[in-house]
Structure 1
Amino acid sequence: MNQIIIKPYKLCGELVAPPSKSYSHRALIAAALCDAPSTIDNIVLSQDVRATKEALSAFGAKIHSFEKSCRIVPMPLTRPRTAIDCRESASTLRFLLPLALLVEGGCSFTGRAALIGRPLDDYVELFKAHDCIVDYDGKLPISLKGSPLQGEISISGAVSSQYISGLLFALPLSGAAATIKLTEPLQSRDYVAMTIDVLAQYGIKVESLASGWHLAAKQRYRATDYRVEGDYSNAAFWLVAATLGERIVIRGLNPNSLQGDRRIVDIINRMGGDVKASDDALIANPAQTHGIDLDISNVVDLVPVIALLAALSKGQTRLYNGARLRLKESDRIKSTVEQLRALGADIVETADGMIIRGVSALRGGIVDSCGDHRIAMMLSVAASVCQQSVTLQNAAVVAKSYPNFYEDFAALRGIYE
């Protein structure tokens, strides 16, 4: 499905939110590091999560996949026989890289497409500071070997919270106490909270400090069966589709979730939308929205779909403090601006975001996902409310995080061929 043609037809209906990709990664890792087998239910085996599953298998875990679940049989960590292919998953790479220090002789990691050049500098600096041997020239592959990290570990939080999560997964396995100290403020703090939440479910206690975290010595992962909650990041596309189209009901989302992208509900409502919680569902109704100024530093995955909503809202929207978007699967500021402009939006780039002036309608046209799953999903929703058909190139990239996206799109009356 490299190219599809989407016809204008407002989305409407009811569906169950897809499983959280972020929680799927984390649960798989924790389960593979346990002392006994366990099961994960409602897991999404997207391309990224499959990359994590295959990487854990390379370290020795036995993982059996079923339609919507996995059975994990942990084994002692062993050195992978070949370089671990993280595909395009930054989560896989950054979460698992510290495990290389727990196997004799270390190991190597490689990847594909944009992941090859995504930054690892803070990790590399940390590993070298702890006398690890790192072979890395600024692009993948990377090889790492050395002794397990312990004691005080200093790292910046300015580029990615994934570094912190990777350390938190690996540190309990050293058996020693450890303290992570932030040298710069943490971006996307909610993702670290999700990691700590999963660790607690699997028996690992993490103490939060004023500028970091502490893990006591002699902790062990304990097996437990786990169910992955629904994904707010991907449900966001349907909530915006309803705001621009017709009523959509989404079930399966945890109202008390730690997911930072749960903020999409507040953002839509702040813009004049109508999203309400009812029993076990979110109900989104069509509404005329208006522009706002929004700090996007903690909602970077929501930016494409927020920009779409802003493009069809009254007045001006300014999205700022999102320079990290330029380091995603695409330069997500540039790709969002260029592709929405191709559909008729009034939108311009800034250094760390974009300024959008609402228009009455988007016309349609030919657009490209730019190899970015979130751009592809945003453009598909945009196409449903355009005046004319939209040709979307490289649509298959949605499988990176939401393999059933177009099945759900069709279930909500979306029309494509």
Structure 2
Amino acid sequence: MIALEKAAKPLRGDVFVPGDKSISHRSIMFGAISEGTTEITGFLESADCLSTIDCFRKMGIIIDHSMRPSNGVPVITVHGKGLGGLNAPKDTLYTGNSGTTTRLMSGILAAQPFDCNITGDSSIEKRPMNRVMKPLNQMGADITSLRGNECCPLHISGGKTLRGINYRSPIASAQVKSAVLLAGLYAVGDTVVYEPALSRNHTEIMLTAFGADIHNEVATDGSAAAILHPGMPLHGIKINVPGDISSAAYFIAAALVVPGSELLIRNVGVNSTRDGIIRVLGQMGADITLLNLDESQEPKADILVRYSELSGGANGKFEIGGKDIPTMIDELPVVAVIAACADCDTIIRDAAELRVKESNRIDAVVENLKAMGCDIEATEDGMIIHGGKPLHGADIKTYNDHRLAMSFAVAALAAEGTTRIVDDRCAGISYPSFFKDLQSLL
């Protein structure tokens, strides 16, 4: 448990956040099934990403951790074995709390010549896996839920011939899209995934860099399509992982809710499929500026944030929904905290996906903000936040969800009295040094 008080002074300074979690996961997976070595700098050494490393080591991939002699920068080196180079694991592949590891790896394992089992912690064993099982089985895979509940543990039978499909995902999900595209690398014929809106496209960007024939386009019906032509071998590359915008979001929020604050968050990934929080908060009146923008491959920039009095415009209401949701799904808990401090009503809709994350984030956010004095109500696909009511300290339940722990650390900075966050250690799932970095600004 960690106890936090209202910020006694403005937050000022420079902040560096850890590497992007989505890109870090993919760099290990794609490097493992590529020919030659992949060198990764900026890798996020969090519990989730270390689970990915552990799984691929169990399948015979050598992954080294070293320091670059010239400047002491940590380097992860993946010694890839090509698309057909994985070995059968001796034990069940354990993915910890990582939905990305579980779902994306299922796409790769669906095409292997060996049988294997995948499971994770108690949270993973409750999260829906049928969203990847269904399209992968349509491709010819044989994936079953060992408990018959469409959740982990999963059994994947080997030796199956996969065929490319045109799959229309009912939700915009990078994990679903990526699992199908990774299986498509091994399939006979093209694989196309259609989504209602373009989800984060790190898989398409990175697979292109590794040598795959893949691209995005807008379909005739307006949906987003990712198209993969198989048959191209993957080759190892060098990857510099930018800072994770999902981690930067907590410092963006902290600067916005603590009067007089000004923070510069350096080297953050600002991919257009991930930067919804910047665009949406800008519409609410947030003073956020991108500096030193680099748009090569994965766009990155320094983010300058100044304290701002946020509002909903002339009618005092602000809505977040539609195509903005996939671009900020992981940031919605901390956006709710910001909304609680804003001088307006904020409606978050089209975000039912929050109910099947590491926790039920809709109910958990509402429960915790209510405990702090916020006027908030849950809806089936989001929440309605009546902002501007003073917050006070409370005991926060994290439900072992890293994003709740960090979001309510920000809320504590704007609340009178003491806020106690139960099981703050879960922040290590994505940001091991978060509380240390936050304390350095107080």
**TM (normalized to structure 1)?**
0.92
Residue matched to 1:281: 302
Q: What CA deviation, in whole Å up to 9, does each residue of 1:68-117 have, x standing for no partner?
A: 33111123211111110011101001100122233323211011121102
Measured in 2, the distance between the counterparts of 1:366 and 1:217 equals 52
Does 2:264 match 1:249? Answer: yes
Measured in 1, the distance between the counterparts of 2:368 and 2:117 equals 36
Residue matched to 1:5: 3
> How far apart are 1:158 and its partner, in Å?
1.8
Does 2:137 match 1:134? Answer: no
Does 2:158 match 1:149? Answer: no
> How far apart are 1:156 and its partner, in Å?
2.3
Residue matched to 1:84: 93
**Higher normalized contact order (CA 8 Å, seq sep 6+, divided by chain length):** 1
Counterparts of 1:14-413 in structure 2, within 5 Å, are 14-66=14-66, 68-75=74-81, 76-136=85-145, 137-138=148-149, 139-145=151-157, 146-158=159-171, 160-174=173-187, 176-182=188-194, 185-186=195-196, 189-191=198-200, 193-209=201-217, 210=219, 212-245=225-258, 246-254=261-269, 257-258=270-271, 260-279=273-292, 281-291=302-312, 292-295=318-321, 297-298=325-326, 299-413=328-442
Q: Number of paired residues?
A: 404
Taking a change above 3 Å as real, the CA distance of residues 333 and 65 of structure 1, as seen in their structure-2 partners, is: same
- The more displaced of 199-208 and 152-161 is 152-161
RMSD: 1.9
**Is the CA contact (8 Å cut-off) linking 2:142 and 2:160 kept in structure 1?**
no
Q: What CA deviation, in whole Å up to 9, does each residue of 1:257-281 have, x standing for no partner?
A: 3253322122222111111123352
AA in 2 matched with 1:214: I
> Per the alignment, in what secondary structure is the counterpart of residue 206 of structure 1?
strand
Taking a change above 3 Å as real, the CA distance of residues 368 and 132 of structure 1, as seen in their structure-2 partners, is: same
> How far apart are 1:157 and its partner, in Å?
4.0
State, as a whole percentage, how many aligned pairs show the same letter: 25
**TM (normalized to structure 2)?**
0.87
> Per the alignment, in what secondary structure is the counterpart of residue 384 of structure 2?
strand
**Is the CA contact (8 Å cut-off) linking 2:123 and 2:358 kept in structure 1?**
yes
- The more displaced of 361-370 and 386-395 is 361-370
Measured in 1, the distance between the counterparts of 2:402 and 2:272 equals 19
Measured in 2, the distance between the counterparts of 1:266 and 1:125 equals 34
> How far apart are 1:126 and its partner, in Å?
2.9
Measured in 2, the distance between the counterparts of 1:18 and 1:85 equals 24
* Structure 2 unmatched ranges of 5 or more: 68-73, 293-300, 313-317
* Structure 1 unmatched ranges of 5 or more: none
Q: What CA deviation, in whole Å up to 9, does each residue of 1:247-306 have, x standing for no partner?
A: 11111124xx32533221222221111111233522111111113111153221111111
Measured in 1, the distance between the counterparts of 2:423 and 2:202 equals 31
Taking a change above 3 Å as real, the CA distance of residues 354 and 101 of structure 1, as seen in their structure-2 partners, is: closer
AA in 1 matched with 2:355: R
**Is the CA contact (8 Å cut-off) linking 1:343 and 1:364 kept in structure 2?**
yes
> Per the alignment, in what secondary structure is the counterpart of residue 278 of structure 2?
helix
AA in 2 matched with 1:230: G
**Is the CA contact (8 Å cut-off) linking 1:240 and 1:268 kept in structure 2?**
no
Measured in 1, the distance between the counterparts of 2:181 and 2:20 equals 20
Measured in 2, the distance between the counterparts of 1:65 and 1:406 equals 25
> How far apart are 1:38 and its partner, in Å?
2.1
